[in-house]
Structure 1
Amino acid sequence: MINQNILSLKQSSTLLINEKVKELRINGKEISHFGFGQSPFPIHTSIVAALKENAENNHYLPVAGLEKLREEIVLFLKKNQNIKTTKETIFIGPGSKELLYQSILIFDAEFLIPKGSWVSYIPQIQSKGGVYHILETNFENDFKLTADNLNAFFKNKAPKKQTVLILNSPNNPTGAVYTKEEYKALALACRKYNVVVFSDEIYSQINFSESYSPSISAFYPEKTIVFGGLSKVFSAGGYRLGYMMLPNELQALQNVYKSLFSETFSCVSSPIQFAAIKAFEYPTDLKKYVETSAAILKKISEFIFKELSEVKIECTKSEGAFYMLIGFNLHKAAILKLGISSSFDLANYVLENYNFAMLPGIDFGFKKEDFFFRIAFVDFDGENMMKTYQKNQNIDTNFIKENSPNIFNGVEKIKKFVIDLQC
């Protein structure tokens, strides 16, 4: 008999759309792929070199992770995210996704998910038969959770267990970044209701105006668990290495985490951990590399925002990561006339008729009738783009058309869809 909680899950939307687009392209379709969020830039050569140097290391490492790596992460957090901690609070796992999942398993809690959150939070909770609540957010605030939203929830609900709030900034799917002031207000509300926070900071250095994004742990250090890793900032999704930082007030959970890790993944691949040391040393050339990638992504996001806004597509303002939520609610009447009433059906319609791949809002905590969709603007040759950008840092429409044609053509396709709706 199969566990019904697991049986009810479907394949991750992001991975599923990636496979579907690959299949369509093999069959000759020219798909503009805005559905999958993987960094388009190559892994920095210094990290690759470190991996090669340690390829023969076949030893099991400590369950919590390589000591030298945890020490480097402590220094990285202090210098590059203004978070002070010690190596004893750091745990290494096979991606922040897995560390989040193991944390969800450990906490006997009710989980609070802001509307406009990463696709895997809810399925991970569902897999253990857990309870979750979608917290209301709004487009005008780029779907960021506010203290008022949190207060409204607790005013209307009486959770029976400890509550855990999962926050993500820079945000997937919106690209929004929480400010220090917003975090200060949220911290007060979290403290008032004794909320534990899982702070997913996997995109922290991919910030379009600063070298890193604020962390709620600076204002709510006692009960914030911070998650990060290699996949986004360092373009190393396939390396599968993440870290988490336990706050001082939750240090009693150290042995609980170690016990669960030891009975599941044991430890992260040895060569990968040694390579990660080089990443988290974050030397000047690597830091500049990350800053350049963020600068390119910023220009692309601004281009998309301008072009889509002109045809009355609602767009969140990306301030980091490589995502944007776009909405067709201003064209809802015309879409309903097509016989389409859900974001899932509209995503399929646009893919089949306009060769444009995007993910429906229902996967991110929205109601099925909300016509919001996540787009990831990474369908370009990152290596070539970076070389060209270093020669000419003026990214205008012609630059995007020449160096990221899939992005340019994709924007034209989705604009054509809107124009066709008006005919």
Structure 2
Amino acid sequence: MKINKDIFSLKPSATLEINEKVKALRKEGQTINHFGFGQSPFPIHDEIVNELKDHATNNHYLPVDGLEELRSQVSEFLSKNQGINAEKEQIFIGPGSKELLYQSILIFEGHFLIPKGSWVSYIPQIKSKGGAYSILETSIEHDFKLTAQGLEEFIQEHDKQEQYILILNSPNNPTGAIYTDEEYKELAEACRKHEIIVLSDEIYSQVNFDKDHACSISSYYPEKTIVFGGLSKVFSAGGYRLGYMVLPKEFASLTKVYRSLFSETFSCVASPVQYAAVKAYKYSEDIQKYVSEASVILSGVSSFIFQQLTAYRITCTNPRGAFYMMIGFDQFQDQINALGIRTSKELAIYLLEEYQVALLPASDFGFQENELFFRLAFVDFDGTKAMMAYREKGTVNIDFLKQECPNMYKGVYQLVKFVNALKTD
């Protein structure tokens, strides 16, 4: 058989693959501390679930752009809760922001720019179309956020006539970092100077530990920024598979292009899910409270892990949102190499087999294979129980973590045990 070589070279999504492996090990009776998968642990709010039930019999195809009522509601939500002003005509609904990003990658020709420390699917999506891309260097000192200087240096060293498409993600998967307004202002200036198109993945915007939402680069560079979001993270509805995309007014001529591609691929998102999304984006006070409580719990879990790991000289980004942090064992590279382990993938296997800890190697996130960094997702707990306990106790302390997030608590000390063993050896 002849198969598209660009598709044939892809491997299964690292996040989905590790989740399946952990499920298999647990089915065998093994206790695994699962830091590998980033699905929200919290239940979908009843208001959203009930709306889905109420429209379960709706079997109609909806417009390719998405339900008009939903696009209007997303427009209002973005204006009130994310600082983004967009008319409903600029908004498109698709089966998850992941798919909408992919469709955009298919549409744009040029050279894609991916900051080191970016979501696992950006590069495979670009590879699947045979696209050109570069990894932009970032550093732990900036929590692996791209700086305007780093972007400028790359452009100066490469073809200035090329069309560049930069993919940004904040709050960030895998680091938990959030770009500040000042950082976005500086990046926007560099992007405007070189006419760079920005795909801004803001799927975690309200999963924020300091504010009610993360700022958007579209506030400073609206003319060439496409914003992506959806139900999966903020509303804990990953399985609903609904995302939105905001096309800038300056790209209005692409509306027909997007509609044509959507109509020939996914047609439209399931009707009941779109009606449920209308309820989500009405963002009632009760749903806002639920999102805020979830963020407080995640912040507490994150703080505990950060404090414990850094106390044992494990390098960590300091998350301000999302479900993740990057951790590194660069301080122990010589001892780890002495075990015959040279790559993050090899160390990930070792930690899973010897310490029952599942982590994703940084090589899946744009790092070199010999950089001993990993994504740690801190969501392997019963979100329903945790939220009930938080509402009762009103705090996330060490006792809360032991009781409600035992896999996270135990997993941290398995990593400490590993580091202590290295020191002893």
Q: TM-score range by the shorter chain?
A: over 0.9
Task: Tell me what 1:133 maps to.
Answer: 134
Secondary structure at the counterpart of residue 339 of structure 1: coil
**Letter paired with 2:272:** P
Shift of 1:36: 0.3
Residue 279 (structure 1) aligned with residue 250 (structure 2): no
Contact 2:202/2:228 (<8 A) preserved: yes
Give the distance between the partners of 2:155 and 2:243, measured in 1 at CA.
Answer: 32
SS in 2 for 1:91: strand
In the aligned structure 2, how far is the partner of 1:395 from the partner of 1:271? 36
Letter in 2 for 1:225: I
Q: For 1:96-107, what aligned pairs fall within 5 Å after superposition? A: 96-107=97-108
CA shift digits 1:11-62 (9 cap, x unpaired): 0000000000000000011000000000000000000000000000000000
What's the offset of the Cα at 1:159?
Answer: 5.5
- 1:217-270 CA-to-partner distances (Å, cap 9, x unmatched) read 000000000000000000000000000000011111000000000000000000
**Aligned residue identity for 1:415:** V
Deviation at 1:402, TM superposition (A): 1.1
What is residue 14 of structure 1 aligned with on the other side?
15
State the secondary structure of the residue aligned to 1:422.
helix
Aligned mates of 1:135, 1:152 — CA distance in 2 = 10
Q: Which residue of 1 aligns with 2:54?
A: 53
| Mapping 1:19-418, distance limit 5 Å | 19-158=20-159, 161-418=162-419
Distance of 1:124 and 1:294 partners within structure 2: 30
Deviations 1:287-344 (A, max 9, x none): 0100000000001000000000011000000000010000000000000000000001
3-state SS of 2:184 partner: helix
Give 3-state SS (helix, strand or coil) of 1:198's partner: strand
In the TM superposition, what is the alpha-carbon distance from 1:394 to its structure 2 partner? 2.2
Cα deviation, residue 393, structure 1: 1.9
User: Which runs of at least 4 in structure 1 moved beyond 2 Å after TM superposition?
Assistant: none
> Aligned letter for 2:41?
P
Whole-angstrom CA distance in 1 between matches of 2:230 and 2:195: 27
- The 1-side partners of 2:245 and 2:110 are apart by 19
Within 1, Cα distance between the matches of 2:98 and 2:400?
Answer: 35
Partner of 1:166, secondary structure, is strand
Code of the residue aligned with 1:72 in structure 2: it is Q
Q: Is the 8 Å Cα contact of residues 96 and 229 (structure 1) preserved in structure 2?
A: yes
Say if 1:135 and 1:150, in contact at 8 Å, map to a contact too.
Answer: yes
Q: C-alpha displacement at 1:285, in angstroms?
A: 0.5
Deviation at 1:156, TM superposition (A): 1.0
Long gaps (5+) in structure 1: none
Do the aligned partners of residues 16 and 160 (structure 1) sit closer, same or farther apart at CA in structure 2, a change above 3 Å counting?
A: farther
Using the alignment, how far apart are the partners of 1:331 and 1:159 within structure 2? 40
Say if 2:70 and 2:275, in contact at 8 Å, map to a contact too: yes
Unaligned runs of 5+ in 2: none
State the Cα RMSD in Å: 0.6
CA deviation after TM superposition for structure 1 residue 399, in Å: 1.4
2:292 is matched by which residue type in structure 1? E
Deviation at 1:403, TM superposition (A): 1.1
Asked whether the equivalents of residues 160 and 194 of structure 2 are also in contact (C-alpha less than 8 Å), the reply is no
2:113 aligns to what SS in structure 1?
Answer: strand
Name the CA shift for 1:199/1:421 in 2 (closer, same or farther; >3 Å): same
Q: Which secondary structure state, in structure 1, belongs to the residue aligned with residue 93 of structure 2?
A: strand
Q: Given residue 346 of structure 2, which amino acid in structure 1 is its aligned partner?
A: D
In 2: Cα distance, 1:306 partner to 1:85 partner = 40
Distance apart, 1:8 and its partner CA: 0.3
Q: Distance in 2 between matches of 1:374 and 1:95?
A: 22
Partner-residue secondary structure (3-state), 2:251: helix
| CA positional deviation for 1:160 | 5.6
C-alpha distance in 2 between matches for 1:81 and 1:360: 32
In structure 2, C-alpha distance between the alignment counterparts of 1:66 and 1:162, rounded to whole Å: 33
Code of the residue aligned with 1:374 in structure 2: it is R
- Deviation (angstroms), 1:174: 0.1
* TM-score normalised by length of structure 2: 0.99
Deviations 1:167-201 (A, max 9, x none): 00000000000000000000000000100000000
Tell me by how many angstroms 1:109 deviates.
Answer: 1.3
Q: Tell me by how many angstroms 1:161 deviates.
A: 3.0
Q: Note if contact 1:116-1:143 (Cα within 8 Å) is conserved in structure 2.
A: yes
Residue identity over aligned pairs, in percent, reads: 61
238-247 or 157-166, larger mean C-alpha shift: 157-166
